[in-house]
Structure 1
Amino acid sequence: MMQVNGFSADEIAGAVWRKSARSNAAGNCVEIARLEDGGMAVRNSRFPKGPALVYTPAEAEAFLLGVKEGDFDFVL
Protein backbone atom coordinates (compact mmCIF):
# COMPACT_ATOMS: atom_id res chain seq x y z
CA MET A 1 0.00 0.00 0.00
CA MET A 2 1.29 3.44 -0.90
CA GLN A 3 1.61 5.83 2.02
CA VAL A 4 0.72 9.49 1.67
CA ASN A 5 0.87 12.50 3.97
CA GLY A 6 -1.70 12.32 6.73
CA PHE A 7 -1.82 8.50 6.61
CA SER A 8 -2.22 7.08 10.12
CA ALA A 9 1.34 6.37 11.30
CA ASP A 10 0.38 3.10 13.01
CA GLU A 11 -0.95 1.74 9.70
CA ILE A 12 2.34 1.98 7.82
CA ALA A 13 3.20 -1.67 7.27
CA GLY A 14 6.65 -2.73 8.38
CA ALA A 15 7.58 0.68 9.81
CA VAL A 16 10.21 0.51 12.52
CA TRP A 17 10.05 3.83 14.33
CA ARG A 18 13.19 5.34 15.83
CA LYS A 19 12.88 8.11 18.40
CA SER A 20 15.23 11.06 18.43
CA ALA A 21 17.66 11.14 21.35
CA ARG A 22 16.50 14.74 21.82
CA SER A 23 12.93 13.68 22.52
CA ASN A 24 11.96 14.38 26.11
CA ALA A 25 9.11 14.50 28.62
CA ALA A 26 8.47 18.18 27.82
CA GLY A 27 6.67 17.09 24.65
CA ASN A 28 9.50 17.44 22.15
CA CYS A 29 8.94 14.04 20.59
CA VAL A 30 9.71 13.00 17.04
CA GLU A 31 10.21 9.60 15.42
CA ILE A 32 11.27 8.57 11.95
CA ALA A 33 10.85 5.35 9.99
CA ARG A 34 12.49 4.25 6.75
CA LEU A 35 9.93 3.13 4.18
CA GLU A 36 10.24 0.16 1.85
CA ASP A 37 10.78 2.45 -1.15
CA GLY A 38 13.70 4.21 0.57
CA GLY A 39 11.64 7.20 1.63
CA MET A 40 10.86 8.15 5.20
CA ALA A 41 7.93 8.88 7.44
CA VAL A 42 7.95 11.24 10.43
CA ARG A 43 5.51 11.20 13.36
CA ASN A 44 4.99 12.71 16.78
CA SER A 45 5.82 9.87 19.19
CA ARG A 46 3.23 11.10 21.69
CA PHE A 47 0.55 10.32 19.10
CA PRO A 48 1.61 7.04 17.44
CA LYS A 49 -1.79 6.64 15.74
CA GLY A 50 -1.73 10.21 14.47
CA PRO A 51 -0.80 11.34 10.97
CA ALA A 52 2.63 10.84 9.49
CA LEU A 53 4.50 13.09 7.12
CA VAL A 54 5.74 10.95 4.24
CA TYR A 55 8.73 11.84 2.07
CA THR A 56 9.97 10.25 -1.16
CA PRO A 57 13.61 9.12 -1.21
CA ALA A 58 14.63 12.30 -3.08
CA GLU A 59 12.70 14.55 -0.68
CA ALA A 60 14.17 12.76 2.35
CA GLU A 61 17.70 13.13 0.98
CA ALA A 62 17.23 16.83 0.18
CA PHE A 63 15.76 17.55 3.61
CA LEU A 64 18.37 15.61 5.60
CA LEU A 65 21.27 17.10 3.65
CA GLY A 66 19.79 20.56 4.20
CA VAL A 67 19.55 19.92 7.94
CA LYS A 68 23.14 18.70 8.08
CA GLU A 69 24.36 21.72 6.12
CA GLY A 70 22.53 24.18 8.39
CA ASP A 71 19.99 25.37 5.81
CA PHE A 72 17.25 25.41 8.44
CA ASP A 73 19.14 26.81 11.41
CA PHE A 74 17.19 30.07 11.10
CA VAL A 75 14.14 28.43 12.74
CA LEU A 76 15.97 27.78 16.02
Structure 2
Amino acid sequence: MASVTHNSQSAELLAGAAWRKSRYSGALGNCVELATLPGGQIALRNSRHPDGPAVLYTRDEVAAFLSGVKDGEFDDMLA
Protein backbone atom coordinates (compact mmCIF):
# COMPACT_ATOMS: atom_id res chain seq x y z
CA MET A 1 0.00 0.00 0.00
CA ALA A 2 1.31 3.46 -0.91
CA SER A 3 2.12 5.83 1.91
CA VAL A 4 0.04 8.99 2.27
CA THR A 5 1.63 12.31 3.07
CA HIS A 6 -0.48 14.60 5.24
CA ASN A 7 0.26 18.26 4.76
CA SER A 8 -2.44 19.95 6.78
CA GLN A 9 -3.02 21.12 10.30
CA SER A 10 -5.46 23.27 12.20
CA ALA A 11 -5.10 26.91 11.17
CA GLU A 12 -5.57 27.96 14.79
CA LEU A 13 -2.23 26.28 15.56
CA LEU A 14 -0.43 28.63 13.17
CA ALA A 15 -0.11 31.43 15.71
CA GLY A 16 1.23 34.65 14.31
CA ALA A 17 0.43 33.77 10.68
CA ALA A 18 -0.39 36.91 8.70
CA TRP A 19 -3.27 35.71 6.54
CA ARG A 20 -4.22 37.59 3.38
CA LYS A 21 -6.69 37.16 0.56
CA SER A 22 -6.88 38.33 -3.01
CA ARG A 23 -8.55 41.62 -3.85
CA TYR A 24 -10.63 39.51 -6.27
CA SER A 25 -12.25 37.63 -3.39
CA GLY A 26 -16.03 37.77 -3.11
CA ALA A 27 -17.82 39.99 -0.61
CA LEU A 28 -19.64 36.96 0.82
CA GLY A 29 -16.46 35.45 2.23
CA ASN A 30 -16.10 32.86 -0.52
CA CYS A 31 -12.36 33.02 -0.75
CA VAL A 32 -9.14 31.40 0.32
CA GLU A 33 -6.46 33.01 2.43
CA LEU A 34 -2.71 32.47 2.29
CA ALA A 35 0.07 33.03 4.81
CA THR A 36 3.83 32.64 4.58
CA LEU A 37 5.12 30.65 7.55
CA PRO A 38 8.46 31.15 9.33
CA GLY A 39 9.91 27.93 7.83
CA GLY A 40 9.16 29.16 4.30
CA GLN A 41 6.04 27.06 3.71
CA ILE A 42 2.84 28.67 2.49
CA ALA A 43 -0.42 27.86 4.25
CA LEU A 44 -3.84 28.01 2.57
CA ARG A 45 -7.20 28.04 4.37
CA ASN A 46 -10.89 28.66 3.70
CA SER A 47 -11.80 32.16 4.89
CA ARG A 48 -15.21 30.94 6.06
CA HIS A 49 -13.52 28.56 8.52
CA PRO A 50 -10.48 30.46 9.86
CA ASP A 51 -9.90 27.93 12.66
CA GLY A 52 -10.40 24.94 10.36
CA PRO A 53 -7.71 23.07 8.46
CA ALA A 54 -4.88 24.81 6.66
CA VAL A 55 -3.06 23.02 3.85
CA LEU A 56 0.71 23.55 3.76
CA TYR A 57 2.73 23.86 0.54
CA THR A 58 6.34 24.59 -0.34
CA ARG A 59 7.17 27.79 -2.18
CA ASP A 60 8.04 25.71 -5.27
CA GLU A 61 4.63 23.99 -5.22
CA VAL A 62 2.81 27.32 -5.04
CA ALA A 63 5.02 28.79 -7.77
CA ALA A 64 4.23 25.83 -10.06
CA PHE A 65 0.50 26.19 -9.43
CA LEU A 66 0.52 29.95 -10.05
CA SER A 67 2.47 29.45 -13.28
CA GLY A 68 -0.18 26.99 -14.43
CA VAL A 69 -2.96 29.43 -13.59
CA LYS A 70 -1.22 32.24 -15.48
CA ASP A 71 -0.72 29.94 -18.48
CA GLY A 72 -4.43 29.04 -18.54
CA GLU A 73 -3.96 25.36 -17.65
CA PHE A 74 -7.06 25.38 -15.46
CA ASP A 75 -9.37 27.57 -17.55
CA ASP A 76 -11.44 24.53 -18.56
CA MET A 77 -12.51 24.13 -14.93
CA LEU A 78 -14.51 27.38 -15.13
CA ALA A 79 -16.82 26.16 -17.89
Paired position in structure 1 for 2:12 = 10
Could you state the TM-score of these two structures normalised by the residue count of structure 2? 0.76
How much does 1:22 deviate?
2.5
Supply the distance in 1 between the matched residues of 2:41 and 2:72 (Cα, whole angstroms).
21
- Provide the secondary structure at the position in 1 that maps to 2:9: coil
User: CA RMSD, aligned part only?
Assistant: 1.8
The correspondence of residues 54-73 of structure 1 with structure 2, limited to 5 A, is 54-73=56-75
Paired position in structure 2 for 1:21 = 23
Supply the distance in 1 between the matched residues of 2:15 and 2:39 (Cα, whole angstroms).
12
CA contact (8 A) 1:39 1:58 kept: no
Which structure 2 segments of 5+ residues have no match? 1-5
CA contact (8 A) 1:30 1:45 kept: yes
Alignment pair present for 1:50 and 2:66: no
More strand by share: 2
Counting matched residue pairs gives: 73
1:16-48 C-alpha deviation (Å, 9 max, x unpaired): 100222222445221111122333111111100
Could you state the TM-score of these two structures normalised by the residue count of structure 1? 0.78
Q: Which has the larger radius of gyration?
A: 2
How much does 1:50 deviate?
0.4
1:28-72 C-alpha deviation (Å, 9 max, x unpaired): 221111122333111111100000111112111111111111111
Supply the distance in 1 between the matched residues of 2:63 and 2:40 (Cα, whole angstroms).
10
